[in-house]
DNA sequence: ACATACATACTACCATGGTAGTATGTCAAT
DNA sequence: ATTGACATACTACCATGGTAGTATGTATGT
């Protein structure tokens, strides 16, 4: 028992953890718990695991080829962040997409990120403007190539860079956490290329306002941009009522 | 082994978990992990455990009379919230009071709570105004009696009630989490009765602005109120440089 | 005096087994 | 058909032992 990471480098094929239903395998040479968290989070966000689906410590640990402890820790953290509902002694379940939760997540994110760009419009480095325009150029490409996943990645970096430039790393963590509630909605609306064009245009407006050093304009542009997701959420709540809980 | 909660109701005095250095004993009939979290959190906030002090899973589990598992889970959560630094394979330590972290926590809290009262000034129930004035009356008493702990408790309820009235429970959780970074500062400044009078006056201004349905006034009053803590933080960083890290 | 190897004593991390609690199906009694 | 008792199969929760990794003191070699 407890072989852990010894002799594991020898590529043993005995009990070579099953295909793992869409979960990529774990690297046993690095801290396991964060990897498990990341795998499950991605699976939920990309709807590889659907809302209300049951997750059990035991089953996940078998699929991932690790023990139940790191799985349990990952589930606790995901429950903290509202992606999972843990019912004591009953089971853990992927949280449904609650329209109410998406709205509040949006409120929190808007409050914070509007304040962040307000600061940035007052003072930011010229290098920051160069870097973020480079990012926007890549977003252009992603949109024309209709590469939704790439756009999502660049969008994440776009928003994160505001917090980084302002020296507000903890703020980004909060945003990132509440954003999880919207990410499933965003993922569902990805295929819509027209929608992506809209988002990109809004990104440009935000950057312009910052460059012109107009805090109020920047705040307004960011608020308008972030409120986009509310529209798609309501749209999905009728279009995909099977996934979204009113 | 693994006696858990069986035969534990018989008041056995064998190995009756030591005095526990200021940590109140655990009720083994209720979920243990949350209780452990709460005990350690309180001990850190009230500076019963000082910044940079080492915490070990094993020692805490012995003091509290529980196993290492719930202790470990509590420490992970506290690390998530920034009250503890976990250095893998080295140890866990109470996070120092970093002036930088206090400032960012203040930024996050202000951004959120200003937005909340802005909403409330637009629309709130009359019952809410009655309840919150009752709270303020009790705050008056706490101040005149110089009962700092009671004031802190009422202050917490005061701020929480805004989020509750607005139906923003998740927002309160975020505020509560970042507030942890300031709580140690607030705790240090408690004995100052004059300071408490100032805070109470600010509370009244906020409520008045809401009652008059003046969102901008309410936002400004809340912002001014929440910025108070920054002053005391900087004051403490020279007065108690032993506790506060610049 | 000053590096360098090594034993020792910690730590967090992970694996694993046992326990109470909950849901559900089965079957008898009404 | 309904209800209630009970066996069964789960679950999350907790206790505990083993492992690699890190720090530190202590000799040993230069």
**pLDDT tens readout for residues B95-110:** 999 999 999 999 999 9
For residues A122-151, give the mean pLDDT.
96
Q: Tell whether A73 is within 8 A of chain B (Cβ).
A: yes
Q: What are phi and psi of A55, to 5 degrees?
A: -125, 130
Q: Quick check: A168 and B115 CB within 8 A?
A: no
CA dist., res. A35 & res. A40, Å (int): 9
CATH topology of domain A7-95: Arc Repressor Mutant, subunit A (1.10.10)
Q: Are A20 and A64 in contact (CB under 8 A)?
A: yes
Which tokens belong to B42? 């309180």
Q: What are phi and psi of B87, to 5 degrees?
A: -105, 110
Confidence of residue B246 (pLDDT cuts 50, 70, 90): confident
Q: What's residue B164's pLDDT? A: 98
Write out chain A residues lying below 8 Å of B108, CB-based. Answer: 112, 170-171, 174
Write out chain A residues lying below 8 Å of B110, CB-based. Answer: 115
From the list A71, A178, A162, A50, the residue with the least C-alpha distance to A116 is A162
pLDDT tens digit sequence for A86-113: 999 999 999 999 999 999 999 999 999 9
Q: What's residue B193's pLDDT? A: 80
Q: What's residue A21's pLDDT? A: 58
**Taking the CB of residue B31, how many other CB atoms lie within 10 A of it?**
10
User: Which of helix, strand or coil describes residue B97?
Assistant: strand
pLDDT tens digit sequence for B187-233: 998 888 889 999 999 999 999 999 999 999 999 999 999 999 999 99
Residue A60 has pLDDT above 90, yes or no: yes
Q: Tell whether A140 is within 8 A of chain B (Cβ).
A: no
CA dist., res. A74 & res. A92, Å (int): 12
pLDDT tens digit sequence for B144-163: 999 999 999 999 999 999 99
Q: Are B57 and B75 in contact (CB under 8 A)?
A: yes
Residue A229 has pLDDT above 90, yes or no: yes
CA dist., res. B178 & res. B115, Å (int): 16
Spacing of B59 CA from C8 C1' in Å? 20
Spacing of B85 CA from D21 C1' in Å? 18
CA dist., res. B137 & res. B140, Å (int): 5
Q: Are B187 and B46 in contact (CB under 8 A)?
A: yes
Smallest Cα distance from A20 to chain B, Å: 26
Q: Are B203 and B117 in contact (CB under 8 A)?
A: no
Selecting from B77, B104, B114 the residue whose C-beta is nearest the C-beta of A170 gives B104
From the list A117, A125, A162, A171, the residue with the least C-alpha distance to B103 is A171
CA dist., res. A162 & res. A145, Å (int): 26
CA dist., res. B160 & res. A212, Å (int): 38
pLDDT tens digit sequence for A184-195: 999 998 888 789
Smallest Cα distance from B196 to chain A, Å: 28
- How many residues are there in chain B? 246
**Taking the CB of residue B218, how many other CB atoms lie within 10 A of it?**
27
| Architecture in CATH for domain B98-245 | Up-down Bundle (1.20)
Write out chain A residues lying below 8 Å of B178, CB-based. Answer: 170, 174
**Alpha-carbon torsion angle B188, B189, B193, B199, nearest 10:** -130
CA dist., res. A18 & res. A124, Å (int): 50
Q: What's residue B10's pLDDT? A: 32
From the list B231, B101, B219, the residue with the least C-alpha distance to A115 is B219
Residue nearest to nucleotide C15 (CA to C1'): A2
Using CA atoms, how far residue B242 sits from B49, B51, B97, B245, in Å, is 14, 9, 10, 8
Q: Tell whether B105 is within 8 A of chain A (Cβ).
A: yes
Residue B8 has pLDDT above 70, yes or no: no
Smallest Cα distance from A145 to chain B, Å: 37
- Taking CA B112 as the corner, what is the angle to CA B106 and CA B117, rounded to the nearest 5 degrees? 115
CA dist., res. B233 & res. B107, Å (int): 14
Confidence of residue B239 (pLDDT cuts 50, 70, 90): very high
Q: Where are the domains of chain B?
A: 7-95, 98-245
User: Which of helix, strand or coil describes residue A92?
Assistant: strand
Confidence of residue B19 (pLDDT cuts 50, 70, 90): very low
Specify the residue for token string 């699976």.
A43
Q: Are A17 and A54 in contact (CB under 8 A)?
A: no
Residue B6 has pLDDT above 90, yes or no: no
CA dist., res. A207 & res. A120, Å (int): 10
Per-chain mean pLDDT for chain B = 91
Nearest nucleotide by C1' position to the B71 CA atom: D14
How far, rounded to the nearest angstrom, does the alpha carbon of residue A149 sit from its chain's CA centroid?
12
Residue B45 has pLDDT above 60, yes or no: yes
Q: Quick check: A170 and B105 CB within 8 A?
A: yes
Spacing of B242 CA from D3 C1' in Å? 69
Which tokens belong to B1? 């082994």
Q: What's residue B14's pLDDT? A: 36
CA dist., res. A103 & res. A108, Å (int): 9
- Provide the total of helices (H) and of strands (E) in chain A, helices listed first: 9, 5
Percent of chain A with pLDDT over 70: 91
Which tokens belong to A26? 């774990």
Confidence of residue B21 (pLDDT cuts 50, 70, 90): low
Q: Which residue of A has its CA nearest to B169?
A: A104
CA atoms within 13 A on the CB side of A229: 24
Q: Are B108 and B174 in contact (CB under 8 A)?
A: yes
From the list B179, B36, B21, the residue with the least C-alpha distance to B105 is B179
Mutate to test the interface with B, among A107, A116, A166, A175 (most CBs of B within 10 A): A107
Task: Estimate the crossing angle of helix A32-45 against helix A57-64, to 10 degrees.
Answer: 110
Q: Quick check: B82 and A170 CB within 8 A?
A: yes
pLDDT tens digit sequence for B172-195: 999 999 999 999 999 998 888 889
Mutate to test the interface with B, among A86, A174, A226 (most CBs of B within 10 A): A174
Selecting from A82, A104, A171 the residue whose C-beta is nearest the C-beta of B107 gives A171
Q: What are phi and psi of A212, to 5 degrees?
A: -75, 0
pLDDT tens digit sequence for B102-147: 999 999 999 999 999 999 999 999 999 999 999 999 999 999 999 9
For residues A122-143, give the mean pLDDT.
97
Bridge pairing between strands B84-87 and B54-55: unpaired
For residues B37-47, give the mean pLDDT.
97
């Amino acid at each position: 028992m407890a072989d852990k990471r010894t002799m594991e480098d020898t590529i043993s094929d005995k009990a070579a953890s099953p295909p793992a239903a869409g979960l990529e395998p774990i690297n046993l040479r690095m801290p396991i718990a964060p990897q498990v968290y990341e795998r499950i989070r991605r699976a939920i966000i990309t709807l590889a695991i659907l809302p209300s689906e049951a997750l059990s410590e035991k089953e996940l640990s078998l699929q991932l080829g690790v023990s139940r402890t790191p799985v349990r820790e990952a589930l606790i953290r995901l429950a903290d962040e509202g992606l999972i509902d843990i019912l004591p002694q009953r089971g853990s379940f992927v949280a449904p997409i609650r329209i109410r939760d998406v709205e509040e997540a949006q409120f929190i994110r808007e409050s914070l990120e509007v304040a962040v760009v307000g600061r940035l419009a007052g003072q930011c480095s010229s290098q920051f403007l160069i870097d973020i325009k480079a990012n926007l150029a890549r977003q252009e490409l992603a949109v024309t190539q209709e590469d939704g996943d790439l756009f999502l990645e660049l969008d994440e970096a776009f928003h994160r860079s505001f917090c980084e430039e302002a020296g507000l790393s903890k703020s980004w963590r909060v945003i990132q956490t509440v954003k999880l509630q919207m990410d499933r909605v965003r993922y569902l609306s990805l295929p819509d290329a027209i929608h992506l064009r809209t988002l990109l245009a809004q990104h440009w407006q935000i950057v312009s306002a910052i460059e012109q050093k107009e805090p109020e304009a920047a705040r307004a542009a960011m608020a308008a941009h972030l409120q986009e997701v509310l529209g798609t959420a309501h749209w999905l709540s009728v279009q995909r009522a099977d996934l979204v809980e009113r």
